[in-house]
Chain A
Protein backbone atom coordinates (compact mmCIF):
# COMPACT_ATOMS: atom_id res chain seq x y z
CA UNK A 1 0.00 0.00 0.00
CA UNK A 2 1.30 3.42 -1.01
CA UNK A 3 1.77 5.50 2.09
CA UNK A 4 3.65 8.12 4.04
CA UNK A 5 4.47 6.95 7.55
CA UNK A 6 5.25 9.30 10.40
CA UNK A 7 6.46 8.35 13.85
CA UNK A 8 5.60 8.97 16.57
CA UNK A 9 1.94 9.87 16.20
CA UNK A 10 1.88 11.57 19.59
CA UNK A 11 4.67 12.91 21.76
CA UNK A 12 4.76 14.92 24.95
CA UNK A 13 8.21 16.13 25.90
CA UNK A 14 9.98 18.93 27.73
CA UNK A 15 11.75 22.06 26.62
CA UNK A 16 15.28 21.52 25.38
CA UNK A 17 15.20 17.77 24.92
CA UNK A 18 16.21 16.97 21.35
CA UNK A 19 13.69 14.98 19.37
CA UNK A 20 13.29 13.55 15.89
CA UNK A 21 10.08 12.88 14.00
CA UNK A 22 10.62 10.32 11.29
CA UNK A 23 8.93 10.28 7.90
CA UNK A 24 9.15 7.52 5.34
CA UNK A 25 7.42 7.05 1.98
CA UNK A 26 7.28 3.94 -0.19
CA UNK A 27 6.26 5.57 -3.48
CA UNK A 28 9.72 6.52 -4.73
CA UNK A 29 8.74 10.18 -4.64
CA UNK A 30 11.42 12.78 -5.19
CA UNK A 31 9.68 15.58 -3.38
CA UNK A 32 9.09 15.57 0.38
CA UNK A 33 8.00 18.28 2.75
CA UNK A 34 7.18 19.07 6.37
CA UNK A 35 4.29 21.24 7.50
CA UNK A 36 3.00 22.39 10.83
CA UNK A 37 -0.67 23.07 11.46
CA UNK A 38 -1.83 25.54 14.07
CA UNK A 39 -5.41 26.64 14.78
CA UNK A 40 -6.48 29.52 12.57
CA UNK A 41 -3.27 29.45 10.55
CA UNK A 42 -3.75 26.47 8.27
CA UNK A 43 -0.68 24.50 7.23
CA UNK A 44 2.66 26.24 6.93
CA UNK A 45 5.67 24.69 5.28
CA UNK A 46 8.75 24.17 7.44
CA UNK A 47 11.24 22.56 5.05
CA UNK A 48 11.09 20.75 1.77
CA UNK A 49 13.36 18.55 -0.29
CA UNK A 50 13.40 18.23 -4.06
CA UNK A 51 15.58 15.11 -3.98
CA UNK A 52 18.32 13.33 -2.04
CA UNK A 53 20.74 15.78 -0.42
CA UNK A 54 18.65 18.75 -1.64
CA UNK A 55 16.72 20.62 1.04
CA UNK A 56 15.42 24.14 1.36
CA UNK A 57 13.62 26.32 3.85
CA UNK A 58 9.90 26.83 3.74
CA UNK A 59 7.98 29.59 5.47
CA UNK A 60 8.71 28.73 9.13
CA UNK A 61 12.10 26.95 9.34
CA UNK A 62 13.37 28.48 12.59
CA UNK A 63 14.09 25.90 15.26
CA UNK A 64 13.98 22.92 12.89
CA UNK A 65 16.46 20.87 10.92
CA UNK A 66 15.99 18.23 8.25
CA UNK A 67 18.11 15.82 6.30
CA UNK A 68 17.55 13.79 3.14
CA UNK A 69 20.20 11.10 2.95
CA UNK A 70 17.90 8.55 1.37
CA UNK A 71 15.07 9.05 -1.04
CA UNK A 72 12.45 7.45 1.16
CA UNK A 73 13.25 9.18 4.46
CA UNK A 74 12.94 12.80 5.53
CA UNK A 75 13.30 13.22 9.30
CA UNK A 76 12.40 16.43 11.12
CA UNK A 77 14.75 17.34 13.95
CA UNK A 78 14.06 19.70 16.83
CA UNK A 79 17.45 20.30 18.44
CA UNK A 80 16.12 22.28 21.39
CA UNK A 81 12.32 22.18 21.39
CA UNK A 82 10.37 25.06 22.87
CA UNK A 83 6.68 25.40 23.81
CA UNK A 84 5.92 27.46 20.67
CA UNK A 85 6.73 24.36 18.64
CA UNK A 86 3.73 22.58 20.11
CA UNK A 87 1.74 21.78 17.00
CA UNK A 88 0.39 19.15 14.64
CA UNK A 89 3.06 18.16 12.11
CA UNK A 90 2.56 16.61 8.71
CA UNK A 91 5.00 15.04 6.33
CA UNK A 92 4.05 14.87 2.65
CA UNK A 93 5.51 13.53 -0.57
CA UNK A 94 4.82 13.78 -4.27
CA UNK A 95 6.50 12.92 -7.56
CA UNK A 96 8.92 15.49 -8.85
CA UNK A 97 7.20 18.10 -10.99
CA UNK A 98 9.74 17.68 -13.75
CA UNK A 99 7.36 19.02 -16.31
CA UNK A 100 3.89 20.42 -16.49
CA UNK A 101 2.26 17.03 -16.89
CA UNK A 102 3.11 16.08 -13.35
CA UNK A 103 2.07 19.33 -11.70
CA UNK A 104 -1.31 17.85 -10.87
CA UNK A 105 0.06 15.11 -8.69
CA UNK A 106 -1.35 15.71 -5.23
CA UNK A 107 0.88 15.52 -2.24
CA UNK A 108 0.38 12.41 -0.15
CA UNK A 109 0.23 13.21 3.54
CA UNK A 110 1.16 11.17 6.55
CA UNK A 111 -1.35 10.84 9.39
CA UNK A 112 0.29 13.59 11.41
CA UNK A 113 2.32 13.86 14.60
CA UNK A 114 0.82 15.73 17.52
CA UNK A 115 3.68 17.25 19.44
CA UNK A 116 3.35 18.88 22.87
CA UNK A 117 6.35 20.61 24.42
CA UNK A 118 6.04 21.55 28.07
Chain B
Protein backbone atom coordinates (compact mmCIF):
# COMPACT_ATOMS: atom_id res chain seq x y z
CA UNK B 1 0.00 0.00 0.00
CA UNK B 2 1.31 3.39 -0.94
CA UNK B 3 2.38 5.34 2.11
CA UNK B 4 2.96 8.69 0.41
CA UNK B 5 0.61 10.21 -2.16
CA UNK B 6 1.37 13.20 -4.33
CA UNK B 7 -1.70 13.84 -6.46
CA UNK B 8 -0.24 16.58 -8.67
CA UNK B 9 1.99 15.17 -11.43
CA UNK B 10 2.68 18.72 -12.64
CA UNK B 11 2.22 22.24 -11.36
CA UNK B 12 2.79 25.61 -12.99
CA UNK B 13 3.36 28.89 -11.20
CA UNK B 14 4.39 32.34 -12.26
CA UNK B 15 7.60 33.79 -10.93
CA UNK B 16 7.23 35.58 -7.56
CA UNK B 17 3.96 33.82 -6.79
CA UNK B 18 3.50 31.26 -4.02
CA UNK B 19 2.74 27.63 -4.79
CA UNK B 20 1.58 24.67 -2.70
CA UNK B 21 2.60 21.11 -3.50
CA UNK B 22 0.35 18.49 -1.96
CA UNK B 23 1.39 15.45 0.01
CA UNK B 24 -0.70 13.02 2.02
CA UNK B 25 0.67 10.09 3.97
CA UNK B 26 -0.60 6.91 5.50
CA UNK B 27 0.71 5.39 8.71
CA UNK B 28 -0.60 4.13 12.02
CA UNK B 29 2.76 4.71 13.68
CA UNK B 30 2.49 7.73 16.02
CA UNK B 31 6.15 8.61 15.46
CA UNK B 32 7.31 9.56 12.00
CA UNK B 33 9.20 12.18 10.06
CA UNK B 34 8.21 13.92 6.85
CA UNK B 35 10.70 15.27 4.34
CA UNK B 36 10.64 17.18 1.10
CA UNK B 37 13.37 16.80 -1.49
CA UNK B 38 14.00 18.76 -4.68
CA UNK B 39 15.40 17.13 -7.79
CA UNK B 40 16.50 19.60 -10.50
CA UNK B 41 17.03 18.48 -14.07
CA UNK B 42 20.67 17.70 -13.23
CA UNK B 43 19.36 14.79 -11.17
CA UNK B 44 20.71 15.23 -7.65
CA UNK B 45 18.43 14.98 -4.62
CA UNK B 46 18.44 18.09 -2.44
CA UNK B 47 16.95 18.03 1.05
CA UNK B 48 14.61 20.98 1.65
CA UNK B 49 12.67 20.65 4.88
CA UNK B 50 11.69 18.26 7.67
CA UNK B 51 8.65 17.94 9.96
CA UNK B 52 8.44 15.56 12.90
CA UNK B 53 5.10 14.07 13.91
CA UNK B 54 5.37 15.56 17.40
CA UNK B 55 6.47 18.99 16.29
CA UNK B 56 3.97 21.58 17.45
CA UNK B 57 4.84 24.19 14.87
CA UNK B 58 5.04 23.97 11.11
CA UNK B 59 8.60 23.76 9.82
CA UNK B 60 10.06 26.65 7.84
CA UNK B 61 13.34 26.98 5.95
CA UNK B 62 13.74 30.25 4.12
CA UNK B 63 11.14 30.36 1.33
CA UNK B 64 9.99 26.83 2.12
CA UNK B 65 7.37 26.01 4.69
CA UNK B 66 5.55 22.82 5.49
CA UNK B 67 1.82 23.01 6.13
CA UNK B 68 1.42 20.06 8.51
CA UNK B 69 -2.13 18.95 9.23
CA UNK B 70 -1.79 15.84 11.35
CA UNK B 71 -5.48 14.94 11.56
CA UNK B 72 -5.74 15.07 7.78
CA UNK B 73 -2.38 13.32 7.37
CA UNK B 74 -1.15 15.96 5.01
CA UNK B 75 2.24 17.65 4.73
CA UNK B 76 2.04 20.18 1.94
CA UNK B 77 5.09 22.13 0.83
CA UNK B 78 4.61 25.85 0.33
CA UNK B 79 7.15 27.76 -1.73
CA UNK B 80 6.81 31.51 -1.40
CA UNK B 81 8.02 34.00 -4.00
CA UNK B 82 8.80 31.35 -6.63
CA UNK B 83 11.97 31.71 -8.65
CA UNK B 84 12.89 30.28 -12.04
CA UNK B 85 15.43 28.08 -10.29
CA UNK B 86 12.63 26.39 -8.35
CA UNK B 87 11.63 24.52 -11.50
CA UNK B 88 12.29 20.90 -10.58
CA UNK B 89 10.74 17.64 -9.46
CA UNK B 90 9.68 17.66 -5.80
CA UNK B 91 9.36 14.54 -3.70
CA UNK B 92 7.60 14.08 -0.41
CA UNK B 93 8.98 11.30 1.80
CA UNK B 94 8.30 9.74 5.18
CA UNK B 95 10.26 7.64 7.61
CA UNK B 96 8.92 5.66 10.52
CA UNK B 97 10.50 5.21 13.91
CA UNK B 98 9.02 1.84 14.72
CA UNK B 99 11.21 -1.23 14.86
CA UNK B 100 13.08 -2.36 11.82
CA UNK B 101 11.76 0.39 9.58
CA UNK B 102 13.86 2.96 11.42
CA UNK B 103 15.56 5.13 8.84
CA UNK B 104 13.70 3.77 5.80
CA UNK B 105 12.34 6.48 3.56
CA UNK B 106 9.09 6.04 1.64
CA UNK B 107 8.76 8.36 -1.33
CA UNK B 108 5.83 9.73 -3.26
CA UNK B 109 5.85 9.76 -7.04
CA UNK B 110 6.77 13.40 -7.24
CA UNK B 111 5.39 16.69 -8.59
CA UNK B 112 7.07 18.44 -11.50
CA UNK B 113 7.02 22.18 -10.80
CA UNK B 114 7.51 24.65 -13.63
CA UNK B 115 8.03 28.32 -12.84
CA UNK B 116 7.41 30.67 -15.74
CA UNK B 117 8.50 34.31 -16.06
* Chain A residues near B (Cβ < 8 Å): 31, 33, 35, 40-45, 48, 50, 56, 58, 88, 90, 92, 94, 96-97, 100, 103-104, 106-109, 111-112, 114
Contact = CB atoms under 8 A, between A and B. Distances in A.
B102 A50 contact: yes
B104 A58 contact: yes
A103 B52 contact: yes
A40 B89 CA distance: 11
B45 A42 contact: no
**A-B pairs with the 4 shortest C-beta distances?**
A109-B45, A106-B47, A42-B109, A43-B107
Interface in B61-117: 91, 93, 95, 97, 100, 102-110
Interface string B29-55: 001010101000001110100101000
Contacts of B52: 103-104
Given A104-B50, A106-B35, A50 B103 contact: yes
Interface residues of B, number: 27
Contacts of A41: 109
Given A33-B104, A45-B105, A100 B45 contact: no
Given A50-B102, A100-B97, A104-B33, A112 B107 contact: no
B96 to A, nearest CB: 9
Contacts of B91: 42-43
Contacts of A103: 31, 33, 52, 95, 97
A56 B102 CA distance: 12
Given A103-B31, A103-B33, A106-B35, A56 B100 contact: yes
Nearest to B103: A31
A97 B107 contact: no
